[in-house]
Amino acid sequence: MSRAGWILLALLVAMLAGCTEEVGRDSSVGALTDPPAGFRQAAPGMRVNLPEDMGAHPEYRLEWWYLTANLKSADGKRFGVQWTLFRNGVRPGPFTSVEPGWQRDEIWLAHAALSRPDEHHFADRAARGGTGQAGVMEQPFKAWIDHWELRSLDASTWEISVEGEDFRYRLKIQPQQPAVLNGDRGFSAKSAAGGGSMYFSYPLRIIDGELEVGGEKFAVSGQGWFDREWSSQYLKSDQVGWDWMALHLDDGRHLMLFRVRGADDFYSATVVGKSGKARTLTDREFTLTPLEFRNSRFGSVPTTWQLSVPLADINVQVRSWPGDYWNPGALRYWEGPVEVSGSHTGEGYLEMTGYGD
């Protein structure tokens, strides 16, 4: 799903409209539905090439590197982290200049958050492309903006380091091979009418990490989910928001699922087996229903969900941690950890947009 795309587009529209409150959903959707000429479109039949596709795609308008993780300290304290790097093309690439320069070709944005039950910290950064202040290198993999960085240490390990004003984390990450190709071998549809993005993921194992919040340091480990997605395709005008989850079940399986809310809701999911084998689920193969809503800072949001995947014998409740996990900004979104109970137990992340006041 272009969950990140939604966020990025929302952000961009807000930025390009002067970060003013009067930026309405209509105008953002308007920008989403009319892609500017010159950018390449993601289409069915396209394939994912690795490691090249870990790098940037300047010929596409949007792309992102999206990481969420559920962590635990040695004494059992729970944490959630999010890190996202967005790239938005202002002009279609590829850009020929090899020397760094003050350009107006692309904008890079990054969001980082650290959550605990009833606690959420957020930081962001922005930079223009072309200077070297932000960018992505595919081999060896490195994605950065200022001093925030996600990079590979060796063939099987990445390291991420982030410093916000009131939190910081540095984690060693092992992406689980092979890459999970979402949708149709990497092309992930976003509506029944077609259109979508190129989308692959890695389940992550966090082997060694250190985070600091509230003046306290914690050694942590856990598991997470990494998304890589690029597109120039926009959502339909009747689509108002989405719900996205990445879940890690205690039996070793992972699930990524989303619903794009609109005149007709669009559902898609991927289930990843213990061996790493992935299977795409259609809307007939699973159900995802909100059970309970929570009154949050910005209005009511569904924080407990019923998820049923009969063919995988999964029937679970997904419940957000207590608290308020809005990432603030001109167009805010919910990004927070969840716990899973029912036929299986587990944990994961929930992202929601288009709710609230």
Partner 1 sequence: MGLGHVFLSHYQRHPGQLAGLVLILLCAAMLWSGVRSLTGSAENAVARSQAALEPLLSIVREDGAALDIQDFVRLRRAGLCASPRMTVTFSQSAAPAIIGIDPFSAGCLRQYREQQQEGESAALVGKLVTQFDRPLLMGSAKDLLRWKQLSLPHSASIQWEAVEGLSSGELLADISVAAELSADGRSRLQIFLPATELDRLPLPVGYRSQIQDYGVEPDPLVNAFLLSLDALGALALLVAALLVRSVYRFALEQRRRSLEILLRLGVPNTHLRLALIAEVVLVALVGGTLGMWLGGQLASAMAEGFEGTLRGMFNVDSLTMAGPTLETWLGMVLILAVVVAWACADLLLLRVEKQGRAEVKTWRWLAAPVLVAVSLAVLLITDKLWLVFLSALGCLIGAGLLLPELLNRLFALAERYCRQPLLEWSFSEMRVLCSLLQLPLTALAFAIATAIGVHAMVTGFETTFGRWLDQRLQGDLYLDPGRQVDAVEWEKRLQRLPGVTSVLPMVRGRGLLDGVPVDVFAVDPASPLLQEWPFLVAVPDHWSALVTGGVLINEQLARRRSLDVSDAVKVQVGGQVQSRSVVGIYADYGRPDGEMMLPISAVTDALPGSYAAFVLGVTSLGESGWREWPEQFHWLAESRLRDQAGLKQAANAAFDRTFQMTRRLNTLTLVLAGTALALMGLVIFRMRQGSYTLLHVYGVQRRNLRRRLIAHSMLVTGLLGLLAIPLGVFLGWVLVARVNPVAFGWALPLHLYPGFWLLVWAACLLIGALVALLVGNPVRLGTLKNE
Among 24, 30, 132, 252, binds partner 1 (CB under 8 A): 132
**Cα 27 from Cα 3, distance rounded (Å):** 18
Quick one: which segment of 39-47, 127-135, 220-228, 272-280 binds partner 1 (CB under 8 A)?
A: 127-135
Give the C-alpha separation, 2 to 34, whole Å.
Answer: 16
Residues 6-35 that bind partner 1 (CB under 8 A): 15-22
Rounded to 5°, the CA angle 179-137-235 comes to 60
CA-CA distances (angstroms) from residue 357 to 3, 16, 332, 354? 20, 22, 10, 9
Beta strands in 90-166 (DSSP E): 106-116, 119-128, 134-138, 141-145, 148-154, 157-163
How far, in Å, CA of 27 to CA of 4, rounded? 18
The type of residue at 157 is T
Nearer to partner 1, 125 or 236 (CB): 125
CB of 35 to partner 1, least distance (A): 14
Among 42, 69, 113, 127, binds partner 1 (CB under 8 A): 127
Q: How far apart are CA 300 and CA 336, in angstroms?
A: 15
294 binds partner 1 (CB under 8 A): no
Site for partner 1 in 81-120 (CB under 8 A): 90-91, 100-104, 107
Single-letter code of the amino acid located at 344: H
Residue whose CB is less far from partner 1, 51 or 132: 132
Q: In the complex with partner 1, which residue's Cβ is closer, 111 or 344?
A: 111
**Nearest-approach distance from CB 17 to partner 1, in angstroms:** 6
Q: List binders of partner 1 among 140-179 (CB under 8 A).
A: 144, 146-147, 163
Minimum CB–partner distance for residue 86 and partner 1 (Å): 13
Question: Which residues in the 177-216 window bind partner 1 by CB under 8 A?
Answer: none
Phi, psi dihedral angles at 350 (to 5 degrees): -125, 135
Please choose, from the candidates 306, 288, 294, 356, the residue with its C-alpha nearest in 3D space to the C-alpha of residue 328: 356
Least CB distance to partner 1 at residue 102 (A) = 4
Instruction: List contacts with partner 1 (CB under 8 A).
Output: 15-22, 90-91, 100-104, 107, 126-128, 131-133, 144, 146-147, 163
